[in-house]
Structure formats: structure tokens, C-alpha cells
A and B are shown apart, each in its own frame.
Chain A
Amino acid sequence: MSAPGEAREPGEPLLELRGLTRHFRLKEGLTGQRTAIALDGIDLKLRRGAAYGLVGESGSGKTTVARLILRLLQPTSGQILFAGQDITGLKGEALMKLRERIQIVFQDPHASLNPRKTILFSVAEPLVVHRRLKGPALRHRVEELLEIVGLPGGFLFRYPHELSGGQKQRACIARAVALNPELLVLDEPTSALDVSVQAQVLEFLHDLKARLDLTYLFISHDLSVVRYLCDRVAVMYMGKVVEEGTVDAVFESPSHPYTESLLSAVPLPQARQPAGRIVLSGDVPSATAIPPGCPFHPRCPRKIGPVCETAVPRLEPRLRDRAVACHLYGSET
């Protein structure tokens, strides 16, 4: 697969987000309005061939990032660069072309497949829309795709209700890779699956990436899954990236107090739980009332003082392999 007319310098990121921000206006009462800040000026770079994890709890903005990249939503401000090209304002034909190169797999495979259409129809749809394939060529390509995702020919004329959850998710992945995309956005693709099926899908995603030369943006609330599949990770809290770096660095020695408590909160499937678990108090604040300063300061166990309540920490490089947005490290940068 080759990107038409694009230079492939190894140094150039495939996807770059610059100050990406998205607000949602919410109605309150009859005339009132509130603004929810779903995403607040995030910067990210995805190297070609990366498996990039985006983690955070509900409301942290991870799915908003996915929808903005797919251009299913318009950003309030900021830029999205794909292979060096600003795609923030693409329209019409150009946007159609872009969608061949960026595809998405959603969390609930059942909701993403039309219950009245066969698997052949669903997987063929992007090929019909974008490539105008038909007849034997179309059927041949769908068979090939189903083969890649491990669904043999017998599945062509089945309906979604005849498939298990794992099989449906494989069909959705087949549809997503039908146009040979460069970037695959996976929004909680295994969250609806049982653990034994999740294991099969994760193994398969791991192999698929190498086989089809894909780049993954993998969104998940499940930290163990990100650790398994990804090589870099960004941790989000209230619409901001609080820590970013290689998976090994971030998971083994988290720098941001939020990352630290998030990792420590995961109960482990093993004989003994580690001592000294950090349990955060309170709830995640509402996106319509984000605390001033560092958004994490009301829950932070390592708050250093008034600076946390007034100044927004910037995401600054720290050590060799990460960037952190926290005043704890202010003096080092």
C-alpha cells in the first residue's frame, strides 16, 4: 500500500495534533447555555508504524480526539496534520479521499453492523463507495479481507446476529482495513468482549499491524491492554494530556501523580495486591466546571501549593523518554 504522492520520511509524523480543542455548547433550562470543554489544546505526534495508546477515564476526551481525527467533528480550534497536510478544513472530494487513509473501529461491533445486511454487504460497502468495485472483483476482495481477519468464506452470507462478539469485531476490522488505510483508529475495540475473546482479537491486531503496515491510535480505558499492544502512550485527564511517553517508561515509573494513581488503582489478577495503593478521593469534575490551574489539583495527592490552583502546567519534556504536565517538575525544565 502506498500513499499517493506522499513523501515517506521516517522522521515526519504520520499524524500531528496541534493545540486541538473542542468545546460543546450545552443547553441549560430554556435559554441558558454552558460550555463543556471536552478537549483543551492537546498536542500529539504519531510516528508512522506506531501503536499509540490513548488512555484516560470517562470524560477525559479520548473519544473526542478520535472523532476529530476522523473529521466526524469539527475542532473549535487547533490543527490536525496528516502526513504533513493540514486536514482540519478539508471538504467534499478531498475529505472523501482522506477517509480512505484513516479508518476507525468502534467499541460495540454489534451496533456498528447493519443487522439486516450480510457480512459481505457490510465489508464490501467501503469498496463500493470509494473504489466502485463490483461483481467478482468485489466478492474476491471481500473474501480476501475476511481471510485476513480469520473469518473463512462461510461467513460471507451470514448476518450479524449469527456471529459471536469476537467474530463481529473481526468483520468490523475487515471493513476498516478494506481500503488499505494508513492510520487505524481503534476506539475501545475489545471493551465489549470477554477476556478469552479479547486475547484473540489483541493477538490478531498485533499481527495485522505488521502485516498491513498500519499505524494504530488505540483508545482504551484498560491500561493492561494498552501496555500489551502499544509502544507509546498519552494519559489524558479532563481534556488534557498529562503525561506522554514510551509505554515502558510511563507504566514502570509514572511521573504525573494522576498516572501514578491511575496505575495504582488497577486491581491485579494475582495472588497478592501490591502494598501502598493510592486511592484518589472525589469524582472527576464536570467538563463544564473544570478547576482552574491544573485540572487535577482538587484530587491530587502530591499537590505542592497555590501554584497548582492558579497556573496551568504545560506539557514539558522530562527525562529522555516522556513529557509531563505537572508543577512538581517545574524547576527541572
Chain B
Amino acid sequence: MAGPAPLLELRDYSLSIDSFDGRLQVLDGVSFSIAPGEVVGIVGETGCGKSITVKSVIGLVPSPPAKVESGTVSFDGRDITAAGESAIRRLRGREVAMIFQDPMTYLNPLFTVGQQLSDVIRAKEALDPAAAPRTRAERRAKALALLGQVHLPDPERQFESYPHQLSGGMRQRVLIAMALAGSPRLLIADEPTTALDVTIQAQILDLVKELVETLGMAVIIISHDLGVVAALCRRILVMYAGTIVEDAGTADLFENPRHPYTRGLLAAIPRLDGSVTSLSGIPGSIPNFIEPPQGCRFHPRCAQAGARCGRERPRNLEVAPDHWTACHLFDGGVE
């Protein structure tokens, strides 16, 4: 799908998680790749598997209860599907960084921003045997430089602040500064602006855009808000119930959505310009993951489903250049 030598590649990745009620088939045959420097969005509704996909890739989903059922994950050409804890730690520390929805949850309320950022810088140093350990003053300088890079106002003062003294937008900037400390090649942002007000969201989106341009890192933005991914990403993956149903360039996805789920999702969004006067929801609700629907996982809610949809799992097909979708409608019909 992408150009040569992807940075991150998932092939037919399936994941199950044991729960009290039974084994949840959380991800089913997820395949995608991210090129170096590419900005990709993953969208979908609650429970579609967008967060668990990236979290399991970087070893943030404990196993057990999670289990990789099939498929491979490779980062920069190395197979990391079965990588041990220390290898994954090295990957997380130096090559992949992640930021989350609620920055307060990821900051320790009892330590200052400066202490926490310095700790992160020291931990990243420890993972890089080539780097000479820094002195405390050097770490402080590095931390202040990072805070400057994320445009935190008055970094000298905020260095001494506790997280509760910062606003939500400032906390998210601190979290981004921590993520940048190891100069990652891939930044994963899981709903980075969902907890923020719209004017603050605009500031953070601008910052991410600027960092992508200056640092050239690849970014995965996970969001339920199609506006957020449209504003940042070149390419968008649409997920439904643990499968990727559509993968297309941003403009192409909005102008020519193919998969019935993507079309349903777009028809459900009220528009700021008032151009939509009647909304159609998608009937039904997300399926049970213990016994997910056979065939296409969307077929029980799909208005266009036929007999084949309940029988046969749709293949992922390229329906237009760099526009992929998994639906029988584009692969010989639904009957």
C-alpha cells in the first residue's frame, strides 16, 4: 500500500483477549503500513479496536489476557510480533512514543513538570549506550528546550509547576514534550484533543502539524472525530469492530467513500455549515466480540448486505489507486 520500506507494518494481525465471559475476538486480520514521516489517522467509534491495535503493537496490552492469534508486526523491517519485554521497552523508549487523551492521568500530581521531564530524559539516555550521561544542568537545559519546542508559555516558570497548576492544553504540551524527548520516529496520539476545548484543540493540532513538518516523524492519530483526522492526516484508516474496512487518502475518503460503514459514518455527522438537514444514524449497535458476526462483521447493520456477507469474509481490495476497502460490493457482489 505505501511506498518502499514501511516504518510500521501489520499483516493479518488478529488479537484475542480473555475475559470473564469468554474470549473476545478483538482484532480480526488487521493489515496496514505506515511509511516514515507519514501522518495517518485511524477513526472509528467506541470499541472498534483503534486504541487496542496500537497499544498491543507497542506492548501496552498485557499478555495474558491478550493473545496474538495470527499475523505479524514489523517495525523498520524487524519482526517485533514476539519481541521480549526488554526489546519492546527499547522500542518504546527510543523509536515510538505515545500521547493520550487525558494528560492529567499520565502526569504524577506530586512532582513538578521539570522533575518528570528530566526523569524521562534520563530514562531515554539509559536506553542509548552511545550517549554520554548528561549532568543535571544539561538535562534541565534539554527539558527547557523541549518545553520551548512545544511552545509552552514561560517554560522557566512551568518547569517548577505542578501538573494541577497547568491548564489542559498546557498539560498536553508537556506530554508531547516528554514524547519528543527520545526523538521518536513514530508518534502515536490517542485522542490527543478529545478532552480539550475547541480553541485549545486548534492550538494542539497546529503544534502537531508543525512538529511533523520540522521533525519529519511519522504520526498515527487515533480519533473518533473525523474533523480532527481530516485536518492533520494525509491518509485515513476506518475501523469497525476490530477490522479495517477502508484505507484511503483523506480527500479521496471524504469525496468517494466506498464502504457502507464509512458512508454511514459520514452521513451521521452534523455539519457546521448547515449543509445537512437530515441525519441518518446507523441502525443497531456494535457486535458482541465473543461471537462476532460471521463473514463481514458489519453485515448485521448494513443496508446493502446480501447472503454472501454473512458467509464470507470480504477481501481487502484496491478499488481505486491507493484506496482500499473490504466489502463484497466491490468484489463481485453480495449475493
Contact = CB atoms under 8 A, between A and B. Distances in A.
Task: Indicate whether A and B interact.
Answer: yes
Interface of A: 57-58, 164, 166, 194-203, 221-225, 227-229, 247-248, 251-252, 261-263, 265-273, 277, 279-284
A225 B270 contact: yes
A227 B268 contact: no
* Top 7 closest pairs, chain A to chain B, by CB: A200-B281, A269-B226, A199-B268, A267-B227, A267-B231, A228-B270, A199-B281
Nearest to B46: A194
Contacts of A58: 197
A227 B272 contact: yes
Contact of A267 (B228, B254, B264): B228
A272 B266 CA distance: 15
B281 A203 contact: yes
Given A57-B197, A267-B205, A284-B197, A202 B255 contact: no
Interface string B232-273: 000000000000000000111011000000001111111111
A279 B268 contact: no
Contacts, number: 131
Contacts of A265: 198-199, 201-202
Contacts of A268: 227, 230-231, 271-272
B224 interface: yes
B198 A266 contact: yes
A263 B206 CA distance: 16
B168 to A, nearest CB: 8
B225 interface: yes
A271 to B, nearest CB: 4
Interface residues of B, number: 47
A202 B277 CA distance: 11
B68 interface: no
B285 interface: yes
A266 B272 contact: yes
Contacts of A273: 230-231
B126 interface: no
Contact of A197 (B167, B278, B281): B281
Contacts of B279: 199, 202-203, 228
A203 B277 CA distance: 10
Nearest to B227: A267
12 contacts: A199-B280, A203-B280, A228-B274, A263-B272, A265-B198, A265-B201, A267-B230, A268-B272, A269-B271, A270-B230, A271-B250, A280-B199
Nearest to A202: B279
Contacts of A266: 198, 227, 272
A102 to B, nearest CB: 26
A268 B272 CA distance: 8
A244 B166 CA distance: 32
Contact of A227 (B169, B198, B270, B282): B270
B45 interface: yes
B50 to A, nearest CB: 12
Nearest to B254: A271
Contacts of A198: 268, 281
A269 B230 contact: yes
B99 interface: no
Given A57-B200, A227-B272, A262-B199, 4 more contacts: A164-B285, A195-B265, A228-B277, A229-B270
Nearest to B255: A271
A167 to B, nearest CB: 8
B203 interface: yes
Contact of A221 (B45, B198, B264, B265): B198
Contacts of A222: 270
A196 B265 contact: yes
Contact of A261 (B153, B167, B199, B280): B199
